[in-house]
Amino acid sequence: MIHSGELIQLVSPKGKRYLRVFDPDQELHTHDGKLILREICELNYGDCITSHLGKSYTILKPSLYDLLKNIKRKTQVIYPKDIGYILLKLSIGPGATVIEAGCGSGALTMALAWFVGQEGRVHSFERRPEFQALCADNLARVKLLERVVFHVRDIEDGFAVGEADAVFIDVRTPWEYLDQILDGIKNGHPVGFLLPTMNQVSLLLAGLEQKPFAELEVLEIFLRKYKPVPERLRPEDRMVAHTGYLVFARARKERRRVPVAV
Ligand SMILES: C[S@@+](CC[C@H](N)C(=O)[O-])C[C@H]1O[C@@H](n2cnc3c(N)ncnc32)[C@H](O)[C@@H]1O
């Protein structure tokens, strides 16, 4: 049974998707006619609901991917293909404490909040209040807001939330904030960056080399989708050719030397 307040995704016969918080008192008006959402109370995910024009809509449980595709955006966002790798490299899991900047529209914030679980925390830094508000709105809609602590300020002023398990930075000039990042990350833990141009990557690498960071990695991720037609299996005509370059490093703040026994 699907309960009031749960997230649902209704998929039309032509594949159009409607993501909603289920409210049995609402109706959904579509090109295929009106859907009386109260009927969903008797149904399960995977079942169908029929419009007053006789069109069948499938009810799906939204995945995190669906939620990310649905966020309201006013900034460039990090794409799911990049987010997947970021989560692995930063080892984001239940109970983790993560610092990110800037939150922008909140695509990465949403994924981080999902994976840190109820016990984890995302400290999200953003200098523009209107983007922080947009991010909070996007998170509230999918009920992940309470896992995020927002800080509306410039990261030039530092993080001041203690040392996190991981840090991810998506701002235009990250090489200007390397000292602040070192203060905000546990020694030996991972730091990641996303940058849209190679020029920025070069400047960041030059900066990282001057500071106690190790294990540098630079990469980009290509995703090519295929038309799912068994007898004519081939790639789709278009793909997103460029999103951003990813850079990862480990903080190596000080070396503790173990005295040699004599
Ligand atoms: C590309 S957006 C981030 C998108 C976000 N990662 C997402 O996945 O939706 C970059 C954000 O960084 C913020 N920003 C840039 N420089 C900053 C700084 N020094 N301190 C805090 N926020 C900053 C901008 O206001 C902008 O909202």
Q: Which ligand 1 atom minimizes the distance to the CA of 131?
A: 27
Residue 145's identity, in one-letter code, is L
Residue nearest to atom 24 of ligand 1 (CA): 102
Is 76 a residue whose pLDDT tops 90?
A: yes
% of the chain with per-residue pLDDT over 70: 98
Q: Distance between terminal CA atoms of the chain? A: 70
Residue 239 predicted with pLDDT over 70: yes
Q: Is 210 exposed, middle or buried (0-12, 13-18, 19+ CB in 10 A)?
A: exposed
Query: Residue 203 — pLDDT band, cuts 50, 70, 90?
Result: very high
pLDDT of 262 over the 90 cut: no
Cα(30) to centroid(ligand 1), Å: 35
Q: What is the pLDDT of residue 255?
A: 65
Closest-lying ligand 1 atom to the alpha carbon of residue 105: 9
pLDDT of residue 8: 97
Tell me: pLDDT of 78 over 70.
yes
Confidence check: pLDDT of 261 > 90: no
DSSP type of residue 247: E
| Cα 48 to middle of ligand 1, angstroms | 40
Mean pLDDT of 210-215: 97
Burial class (CB in 10 A: 0-12, 13-18, 19+), 137: middle
Q: Do 206 and 232 share a structural domain?
A: yes
Q: Is 261 part of a structural domain of the chain?
A: no
For residues 191 and 100, membership in a common domain is answered with yes
Place of tokens 């509306």: 152
| 204-212 contacts at long range (C-beta below 8 A, 24 or more positions apart) | 204/174, 204/175, 204/247, 205/247, 206/175, 207/174, 207/175, 207/178, 208/175, 208/178, 208/247, 208/249, 210/178, 211/178, 211/179, 211/182, 212/182, 212/251, 212/252, 212/253, 212/254
Residues with CB under 6 A from ligand 1: 75-78, 101-102, 104-108, 125-128, 131, 154-156, 170-172
> Do residues 86 and 216 both lie within one domain?
yes
In this structure, are 32 and 95 located in the same domain?
no
Is there a domain that residue 157 lies in?
yes
- Give yes or no: residues 198 and 228 share one domain: yes
Measure the CA–CA gap between 182 and 179, rounded to whole angstroms.
5
Which of 78, 103, 150, 154, when mutated, tests ligand 1's pocket best, judged by the most ligand atoms within 8 Å of its CB? 103
Q: What is the pLDDT of residues 171-182, one digit of tens each?
A: 999 999 999 999
Whether residues 138 and 44 fall in one domain: no
Q: Look at residue 260 in the predicted model and tell me its pLDDT.
A: 76
The answer as to whether 160 is a domain residue is yes
In a domain, 151, yes or no: yes
Which atom of ligand 1 sits closest to the CA of residue 102?
Answer: 12
| pLDDT given at position 254 | 76
Are 19 and 86 members of one domain? no
How many residues are recorded in the chain?
Answer: 262
For residue 256, name the pLDDT band (cuts at 50, 70, 90): low
- For residue 244, the Cα-to-chain-centroid distance in whole angstroms is 14
CB atoms within 10 A of CB 92: 24
pTM of the entire predicted model? 0.94
pLDDT of residue 112: 98
Whether 166 has a pLDDT exceeding 80, the answer reads yes
- Domain membership of residue 168 (yes or no) is yes
Total domain count for the chain?
2
* CATH number of 124's domain: 3.40.50.150
> Do 25 and 48 lie in a common domain?
yes
CA 106 to ligand 1 center in whole angstroms: 9
Which residues are CB-contacts of 228 (< 8 A; sequence separation ≥ 6)? none
The protein residue with its alpha carbon nearest to ligand 1, atom 4, reads 104
User: Which is more confidently placed, 105 or 259?
Assistant: 105
Residue 260 belongs to some domain of the structure: no
**How much of the chain is in helix, strand and coil states, percent to nearest 5?**
30, 25, 45
**pLDDT of the residue at 259:** 73
Kindly give the number of the ligand 1 atom that is closest to the alpha carbon of 128. 25
> Does any domain span residue 172?
yes
Q: Tokens for 53?
A: 């024009």
71 and 37 within one domain: no
**Pair 222, 237 in one domain:** yes
Residue 38 lies in domain:
7-62
Cα–Cα distance measured from residue 221 to residue 244, given in angstroms and rounded to the nearest whole number: 8
CATH at 18: 3.10.330.20
Q: Are residues 103 and 34 in the same domain?
A: no
- Per residue in 104-149, pLDDT (tens digit) is 999 999 999 999 999 999 999 999 999 999 999 999 999 999 999 9
Mean per-residue pLDDT of the chain: 96
* Arithmetic mean of pLDDT, 252-261: 75
Separation of 224 CA from ligand 1 center, angstroms?
Answer: 27
Centre a 10 Å sphere on the Cβ of residue 3 and count the other Cβ atoms it contains: 9
Sign of the dihedral defined by the CA atoms of residues 158, 189, 139, 72, in that order: positive
What digits encode the pLDDT tens for the residues 18-43? 999 999 999 999 999 999 999 999 99
Q: CB of 113 within 8 A of CB of 121?
A: no
Which residues, at least 6 apart from 151, have a Cβ–Cβ distance to it below 8 Å?
A: 123, 124, 125, 126, 159, 161
Give the atom of ligand 1 at the shortest distance from the alpha carbon of 154.
20
Give yes or no: residues 173 and 156 share one domain.
Answer: yes
